[in-house]
């Protein structure tokens, strides 16, 4: 007898249930939300000040007849290579793009020389405001960054000796003073004088640029350290280095230092040095005519390491240019504590702000052979002489921002007039279309104006919005007055009871506001910022 259990006819057996794994949702990408090292985002009050600086310096350039150009942010690598001496290692090289090797521009000078050679230009005064890139150790709070703006003005063409050079130095002084920086000195030197003194001191021709780069460090290192570098790293005999020290430690007022050099028979016996001294003597009269010679310091330690300089060289420095004194106890901090301190200050681990100063805030010089490198000897413009100056905007900005009280006084927007509407009752609709009409009228007249994006805003909401924008004036559309073709203009920021306002007819509104704004800040938001930058009260 079978022992199998028989399933009743018609019955079914459920299949075992299988668990099917649900497909996993794709993992959300994780981002490190920070800018690359040596760069930063700019916004709010920072941008207001920066734009005012750009506009002010641009006006200086235009006053001197400058025309602006723009060049690519990257150049063919061969254009940039070999132009920056030891600093060539700081160039950002890009990946091969179909057989073309390119690099991010290191400055605006070499691209300008390429532009002049490529277009056969015989003379031009050009200015260029754009970003450049250097793979350097950043010091963010000092304006020393890997991506930063330069504002350049250059004069290309053949002119009487030292006339363009003197005007370039005048532009340098005008540019700094126009943004409120007055406690600076422009250090000047001459490449021919340097080459001549190195020659009479016994430096071999092949070593001149290497020795120059060491001398150029005297603004941030002691003579003992520079002397050691020249002897150990640059392989210069001690007697040669001592002779160099006699000259490169010489500095003072333009006329006094020039007189010392003119009395040096050894230097005058050298053709290069004698030519440089003669050019500086020619420049002195022009610098006095421009009224800027007192801003200058003749400093023989200034070498400017870039290989393309051939004549007058210069850079501007302030008290903040030098490295800061070490904070007490910093030398005892461990690496971990130093990293923690930088993190608390919002700085990257490799930021070098605590060890360096702002450095030079503008620099430049004469470069008579750079265009010829690109043009070739057979072209008619192969020897176009050039001289220029470059303002370091980030460094200038760091000085401006450090001025006590300035950030508290800068408004985050350019808004000059806030348009409001007051009324009440069942029939009150908030005058939103009417506020739009008045705003359009002001915009067309060139007046920066805003209104609240609410159909029926309360008075307090509108005043709070105007206060946040920092507006100096309010135009109020009253429920009854507006129907009569009048609005009230009220001065803001004087307290609740200080200004009841004045009624103005709609057809007279733009003229009245322009006059009022001109009395308050010179007519516009930029003028208001510049007034703050140049104010002796801050």
In the chain, where the domains are located: 44-334+357-401, 412-534
44-334+357-401 and 412-534, same CATH topology: no
Binding residues for L-histidine: 107-109, 134, 150, 154, 304, 308-309
In Å, how far are 51, 111, 151, 359 from 391, measured between CA atoms?
A: 14, 16, 5, 12
How many residues appear in the chain? 538
pLDDT of residue 498: 57
Q: Are 288 and 339 in contact (CB under 8 A)?
A: no
Q: What tokens were used for 59?
A: 């006006």
* Residue 186, SS3 per DSSP: strand
- Averages of pLDDT over runs of 10 residues in the chain (538 residues) are 50 60 74 88 89 93 97 94 84 89 95 94 96 89 87 97 98 95 94 94 89 85 91 92 93 96 95 97 97 96 82 91 61 62 64 71 94 71 86 90 81 90 93 97 96 96 92 94 95 70 95 90 69 68
* Cα–Cα distance, 243 to 302 (Å, whole number): 17
CATH architecture group of domain 412-534: 3-Layer(aba) Sandwich (3.40)
For domain 44-334+357-401, the question of CATH label 1.10.10.10 is answered with: no
Flag whether the pTM goes above 0.85: no
Q: What tokens were used for 260?
A: 């010392």
Q: Are 116 and 124 in contact (CB under 8 A)?
A: yes
pLDDT of residue 5: 47
- Which residues contact residue 234 at a Cβ distance below 8 angstroms, ignoring those fewer than 6 apart? 207, 210, 211, 214
* Cα–Cα distance, 193 to 302 (Å, whole number): 11
Binding residues: 107-109, 134, 150, 154, 304, 308-309
Q: What is the DSSP string of 125-139?
A: EEEEEEEEE-----B
Q: What tokens were used for 288?
A: 């006095």
Residue 76 bridge partners (DSSP):
102
Q: Are 538 and 404 in contact (CB under 8 A)?
A: yes
Terminal C-alpha separation, the chain? 113
């Amino acid at each position: 007898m079978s022992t199998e259990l028989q399933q009743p006819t018609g019955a079914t057996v459920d299949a075992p249930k299988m668990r099917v794994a649900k497909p996993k949702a794709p993992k959300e990408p994780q981002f490190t939300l920070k800018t690359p090292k040596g760069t930063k985002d700019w916004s709010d009050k920072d941008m207001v000040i920066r734009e005012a600086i750009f506009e002010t310096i641009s006006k200086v350039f235009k006053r001197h007849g400058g025309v602006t150009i723009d060049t690519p942010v990257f150049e063919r690598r061969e254009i940039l290579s070999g132009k920056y001496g030891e600093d060539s290692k700081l160039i950002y090289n890009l990946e091969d793009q179909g057989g073309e090797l390119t690099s991010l521009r290191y400055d605006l000078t070499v691209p300008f020389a390429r532009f002049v050679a490529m277009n056969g230009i015989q003379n031009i005064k050009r200015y260029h405001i754009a970003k450049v890139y250097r793979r350097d150790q950043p010091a963010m709070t000092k304006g020393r960054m890997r991506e930063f703006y330069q504002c350049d003005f250059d004069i290309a063409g053949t002119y009487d000796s030292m006339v363009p050079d003197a005007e370039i130095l005048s532009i340098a002084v005008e540019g700094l003073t126009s943004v409120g920086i007055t406690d600076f000195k422009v250090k000047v030197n001459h490449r021919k004088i340097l080459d001549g003194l190195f020659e009479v001191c016994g430096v071999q021709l092949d070593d001149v640029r290497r020795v120059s780069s060491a001398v150029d460090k005297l603004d941030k290192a002691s003579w003992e350290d520079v002397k050691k570098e020249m002897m150990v790293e640059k392989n210069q005999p001690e007697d040669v280095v001592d002779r160099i020290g006699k000259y490169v430690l010489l500095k003072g007022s333009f006329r006094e230092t020039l007189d010392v050099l003119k009395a040096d028979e050894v230097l005058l016996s050298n053709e290069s040095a004698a030519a440089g001294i003669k050019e500086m003597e020619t420049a002195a009269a022009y610098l006095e005519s421009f009224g800027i010679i007192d801003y200058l310091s003749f400093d023989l330690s200034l070498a400017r390491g870039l290989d393309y300089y051939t004549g007058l060289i210069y850079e501007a420095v302030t008290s903040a240019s030098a490295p800061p004194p070490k904070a007490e106890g910093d030398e005892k901090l461990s690496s971990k504590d130093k990293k923690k301190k930088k993190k608390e200050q919002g700085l990257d681990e490799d930021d070098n702000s605590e060890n360096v100063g702002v450095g030079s805030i503008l620099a430049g010089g004469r470069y008579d052979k750079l265009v010829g490198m690109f043009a070739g000897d057979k072209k008619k413009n192969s020897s176009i002489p050039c001289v220029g100056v470059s303002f370091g905007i980030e460094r200038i900005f760091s000085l401006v921002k450090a001025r006590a009280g300035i950030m508290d006084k800068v408004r985050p927007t350019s808004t000059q007039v806030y348009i409001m509407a007051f009324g009440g009752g069942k029939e009150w609709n908030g005058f939103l279309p009417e506020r739009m009409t008045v705003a359009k009228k002001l915009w067309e007249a060139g007046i920066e104006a805003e209104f609240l994006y609410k159909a029926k805003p309360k008075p307090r909401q509108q005043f709070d919005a105007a206060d946040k924008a920092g507006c100096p004036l309010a135009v109020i559309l009253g429920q009854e007055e507006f129907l009569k073709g009048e609005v009230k203009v009220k001065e803001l920021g004087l307290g609740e009871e200080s200004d009841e306002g004045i009624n103005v007819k709609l057809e007279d509104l733009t003229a009245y506001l322009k006059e009022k704004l001109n009395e308050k800040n010179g007519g516009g938001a930029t003028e208001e910022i510049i007034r703050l930058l140049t104010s002796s009260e801050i």
